[in-house]
Every structure is written in C-alpha cells, then in structure tokens.
C-alpha cells in the first residue's frame, strides 16, 4: 500500500484525504493548528464568511444542508468537521504538528518527512495542501511597534471590548469589508484607511427559507442543479476579465450603480470608485460595506498610512487620528508558496532555490525534479468560480498518479521540464491580456516582486477541469 503524507488539514487536505482513501492509499494528515479547517480555523474575525455561494464552496461528493447562501466562518468550520467525521479521517490526523522538512531519498524512492517535534517518517508520496492565504502581510510602517493599544492582523484576531472605542481598520479588501459593518454598531468611531479602492459588487446573501432547505435536502438533483447554475454564471462572469469585452462594461456598470444607489456622500462615492478595470484586483462582494460608510461613526480615509504613533495613525497627507485599537487588514503573502517548509528533491535541490526567480508548477501541481510531490493550491491555480472545485481537480490528479504508481510498480512519477515550461508560457500569454495584468494600473496580490502573475488561473473552472483530466497525464512520467 502506498503511503501518502498530506500537509495541511484545510479543505484542500481534506479533499485529498477523502479521494486518496477511496483509492486505497494509506494517508497521514499533518496539521500545525489544533483543529481542522485551515483558513476557516485561523480566521475568526467579526463578520467572517465566504464570498462564494455555499453550494459551490463545498465538495461535489457530499450533499450538505447549508442554512444560507453564503456560509459564515462557524458554519464552514462545522462543515470541515462534518466531512472529517463522515469519511473517518479523524484517526489519520496529526494535529499540532508542523512539517519542517522534506528530503527525497533516491535509493528508496521515498520522502523523509521531519516535524517540529524532531520526528521523522518515510512516505512514498507527499501532498502539500498549505493554502494560498496563510502567511499574513505585516506593513513596515515607522512606529508600528510603538502603538500602545491593541494592534493585530485580522487573521490573528484578538477579542476586545470595542464599545465606545476608536478603531482604525487599515485596508478595504475582502476581509475589511466584512469587519467594518460587524464592528461599527459597537465601536465609538471607526476609521477605514483605503490606499486604493476596489470594485465592490452586492453579495445578495440571505438565509434559505425552510422550503428551500427542504427541497435541497430531499429532491435528489436540486443541489446539483443549483451548483451547476452557479458554475455556469461564474464562467460567464469570468469573461469580464477581458478588458475589451461587453461583460467588463457590464460588471463596471453594476458596481458603479451600486455605489450611486447605496452611498449618500458624493465625496465618498468618488473616493470608492476605482480608475482601473474591473478584475484588476480581486473583485469584492459585500452588501453591507457601503451602507456602513453612511454611519455617523464611520469615516472613510482615502489615503494610505504613513506611520503610527503610540496613540494614533498618520496618513500620507500628514493628518493624525487618535485611535484605541489598530486592526491590520493588510492581506497575505500568497506568492510565498510553501513558506515554512524546506523541500529537497533530486540532487538535493531545494524547491525555494528552483523558485528563486519565479514560483511555477505544471498545472500548478507538480515541479520537475521533485518526484512524487504534489501541490494543492499551487502557482497559477487561484480562481475558476470556486477554489474548492479547483482543489478537487488537483486531488484527482494526485489520485491518478498514486494509482499509476501502484499499477506500474515503479518508484516515482516526475514532471517533464518541457511540459512545465510550455504550461507557464501558455499561462503568461493568457494573463497578458487579462484585467489582472500589471499594466491595468492597480495593486493586487497576484504578482511576485519580479512582476510575474504567479497566483491566477487564466480561465474558468471548466477549462481547468478539462486540463487536469486530459492534459496533466501527458506531463507526468514514471521512472525507476
């Protein structure tokens, strides 16, 4: 039986474990946190919820009774726990165990895996399911370490009584737009610092009615049909990333109409309206952020932060505002793939040395010279309507490779360098005309310091499903 190590017990690691166990592989899941769920275990800030429809942000192999269109963080955590119990993964979990090193042993065609506790084990196959948004980005503002009050990143949320307090929320991305409406009713004053506006669409979230939930539970095809509808609409929406398309103009018009009909203050309307194409940044879905800006105790500061004092925040105009609590909604470092793990492949090469100029992988899953090593949520796989569906397709590639190893009785599966090169060239060509290209004029998290877009998949989910099913196998080769 092939022994597989899965690093990470988020939804990607869970998907891989379910599919690999069905294929007869022996799995061990290593998780550095004390529970499963990945990002939904780490992020517990007020208002935290997913911005993808629940029926799409869940596994295709399990029907689930979702209570609302967009699941909250507690509901997603409960879902992860449910899947673990439903498929008997609990005995295979190693919680509170961070993997530090992987070393390929050519003589045995195995990886030697080391943990923070000093333990070592050997595995035939290793799957990294670390996730994309897991390493917080902390700003380098002068004086940040001198701030006297509570100050923390949103992914490391600290519970404080905000009643009557002055709170600065720095950032207006997908996390901040959830936090601001959630804390504004309790806080005395909320300052929202916006370096650059983002296109915001109405989310239209709501609870399912008892009748809807009954239909989704009891009518066999209802949930599948709704899921298919979501993916169909998502694939149509993806056409908007072409800056010259009619869909691009429609999406901009939708967002502009949302601003005009929701925000009362003309200066605020102007401040939140981007001057770059829709899709240049990750589009934001929120029905409650703009209304929160109408509150008397919420002020939008359309300027970047310059520095921090012990008692306040100074923006780029030099204006200082006194605050009691500082919330950093400053994002993550998604281009630092496999951060915290040293992976050595053939000839002792470190994957971080191979990626010195650019992180890349064939189909975002495998890297030449690192046999039997697979990455979920790897380079250029973000997007495609729902990351859960992307993760399932990646897990299926892993299952196919494991079955191939068992069938051929060969020691390893490696990646053709030529196939990997052609894949990256194709990705670059497709992304060059996308709204997310650097030439579109916005700041986004997609690009590495050298300007390569290393995070985004340049198409909808259907294209990725076809590529992983029919193309991936031609880039992988078995060796002795």
DSSP letter string over 4-25?
Answer: EEEE--SHHHHHHHHHHHHTT-
CB distance 102 to 341 below 8 Å: yes
pLDDT above 90 for 43: yes
pLDDT tens figures, 224-247: 999 999 999 988 888 899 888 999
Based on C-alpha coordinates, what's the Rg of the chain?
23
Q: Which residues of 276-312 are buried (b: 16+ CB within 10 A; e: fewer)?
A: bbbbbbbbbbbbbbbebbeeeebebbbbebbbbbeeb
CATH class of 3-135+333-479: alpha beta
15 Cβ contact partners less than 8 Å away, ≥ 6 residues apart? 59, 376, 388, 391, 392, 395
pLDDT tens figures, 312-325: 999 999 999 999 99
Q: How confident is the model at residue 478 (pLDDT cuts 50, 70, 90)?
A: confident
CB distance 332 to 155 below 8 Å: yes
Percentage of the residues of the chain whose pLDDT score is greater than 90: 86
The CATH number of the domain covering residues in 144-210+243-328: 3.50.50.60
pLDDT for the residue 440: 73
195 Cβ contact partners less than 8 Å away, ≥ 6 residues apart? 171, 172, 303, 304, 305, 443
CA distances from 389 to 87, 231, 375, 383, 466 (A): 18, 10, 15, 10, 12
Among 50, 9, 37, smallest CA distance to 230 is for: 50
Among 327, 385, 335, smallest CA distance to 172 is for: 327
CB distance 121 to 105 below 8 Å: no
Angle between helices 11-22 and 73-86 (to 10 degrees): 20
Question: For 276, phi and psi rounded to 5 degrees?
Answer: -130, 165
Per-residue pLDDT, averaged over 47-66, amounts to 96
Q: What angle do CA 298, 198, 459 make, to 5 degrees?
A: 150
224 Cβ contact partners less than 8 Å away, ≥ 6 residues apart? none
pLDDT above 90 for 44: yes
Q: How confident is the model at residue 477 (pLDDT cuts 50, 70, 90)?
A: confident
Place of tokens 């915001």: 200
pLDDT for the residue 133: 74
Terminal Cα distance for the chain, rounded:
18
CB distance 200 to 272 below 8 Å: yes
One-character DSSP codes across 345-395: -GGG-BHHHHTSS----BTTTB-TT-TTEEESS-TT-B-SS-HHHHHHHHH
Q: At 471, list the tokens.
A: 């193309």
pLDDT tens figures, 59-102: 999 999 999 999 999 999 999 999 999 999 999 999 999 999 99
Distance separating alpha carbons of residues 287 and 462, to the nearest angstrom: 28
Question: For 241, phi and psi rounded to 5 degrees?
Answer: -70, -15
What 3-state DSSP class applies to 313?
Answer: strand
What 3-state DSSP class applies to 396?
Answer: helix
More confident residue, 44 or 335: 44
pLDDT above 80 for 413: yes
Domain ranges in the chain?
Answer: 3-135+333-479, 144-210+243-328
pLDDT above 70 for 480: no
Does the fold of domain 144-210+243-328 match that of domain 3-135+333-479?
A: yes
DSSP strand E in 93-188: where? 93-94, 99-105, 110-115, 120-123, 125-128, 151-153, 166-170
Q: Which residues of 146-160 are buried (b: 16+ CB within 10 A; e: fewer)?
A: ebebebebbbebeee
CA distances from 417 to 161, 272, 344, 360, 369 (A): 55, 45, 17, 11, 8
Q: At 143, list the tokens.
A: 């004086």
Q: What is the model's pTM?
A: 0.94
- Which alpha helices (H) appear in 263-307, and where do they start and end? 266-271, 289-293
């Amino acid at each position: 039986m092939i022994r597989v190590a899965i690093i990470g017990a988020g939804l990607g690691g869970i998907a891989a474990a379910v599919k690999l166990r069905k294929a007869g592989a022996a799995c061990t899941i290593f998780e550095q946190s004390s529970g499963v769920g990945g990002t939904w275990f780490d992020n517990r800030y007020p208002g935290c919820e997913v911005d993808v429809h629940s029926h799409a942000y869940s596994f295709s192999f399990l029907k689930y009774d979702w209570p609302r269109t967009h699941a909250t963080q507690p509901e997603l955590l409960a879902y992860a726990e449910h899947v673990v119990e439903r498929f008997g993964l609990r005995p295979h979990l190693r919680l509170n165990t961070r993997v530090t090193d992987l070393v390929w042993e050519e003589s045995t065609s195995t990886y030697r895996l080391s943990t923070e506790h000093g333990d070592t084990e050997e595995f035939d196959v290793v799957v990294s399911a670390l996730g994309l948004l897991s390493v917080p980005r902390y700003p380098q503002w002068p004086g940040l370490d001198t701030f006297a009050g509570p100050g923390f990143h949103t992914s490391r949320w600290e519970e404080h009584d905000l009643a009557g307090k002055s709170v600065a929320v720095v950032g207006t991305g997908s996390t901040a737009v959830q936090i601001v409406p959630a804390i504004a009713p309790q806080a005395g004053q909320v300052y929202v610092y916006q370096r650059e506006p983002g296109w915001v669409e109405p989310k239209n979230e709501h609870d399912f009615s008892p009748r809807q939930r009954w239909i989704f539970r009891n009518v066999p095809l209802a949930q599948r049909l709704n899921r298919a509808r979501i993916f169909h609409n998502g694939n149509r929406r993806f056409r908007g990333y072409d800056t010259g398309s009619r869909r691009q103009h429609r999406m901009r018009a939708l967002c502009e109409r949302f601003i005009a009909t929701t925000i009362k203050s003309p200066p605020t309307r102007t401040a939140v309206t981007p001057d770059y194409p829709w899709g240049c940044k990750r589009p934001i879905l929120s029905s409650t952020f703009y209304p929160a800006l109408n509150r008397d105790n919420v002020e939008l500061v359309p300027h970047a932060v310059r520095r921090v004092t012990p008692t306040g925040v100074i923006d780029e105009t030099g204006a200082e505002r006194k605050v009691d609590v500082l919330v950093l909604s400053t994002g993550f470092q998604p281009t630092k793939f496999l951060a915290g793990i040293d992976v050595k492949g053939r000839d002792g090469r470190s994957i971080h040395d191979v990626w010195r100029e650019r992180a890349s992988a064939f189909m975002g899953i495998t890297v030449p010279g690192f046999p039997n090593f697979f990455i979920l949520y790897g380079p250029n796989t973000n997007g495609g309507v729902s990351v859960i569906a992307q993760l399932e397709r990646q897990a299926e590639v892993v299952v196919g490779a494991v079955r191939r190893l068992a069938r051929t009785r060969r020691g390893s599966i490696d990646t053709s360098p030529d196939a990997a090169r052609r894949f990256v060239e194709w990705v670059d060509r497709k992304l060059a005309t996308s709204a997310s290209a650097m030439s579109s004029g916005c700041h986004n998290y997609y690009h590495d310091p050298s300007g390569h877009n290393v995070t985004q998949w340049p198409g909808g989910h259907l294209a990725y499903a076809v590529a992983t099913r029919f193309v991936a196998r031609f880039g992988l080769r078995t060796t002795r």
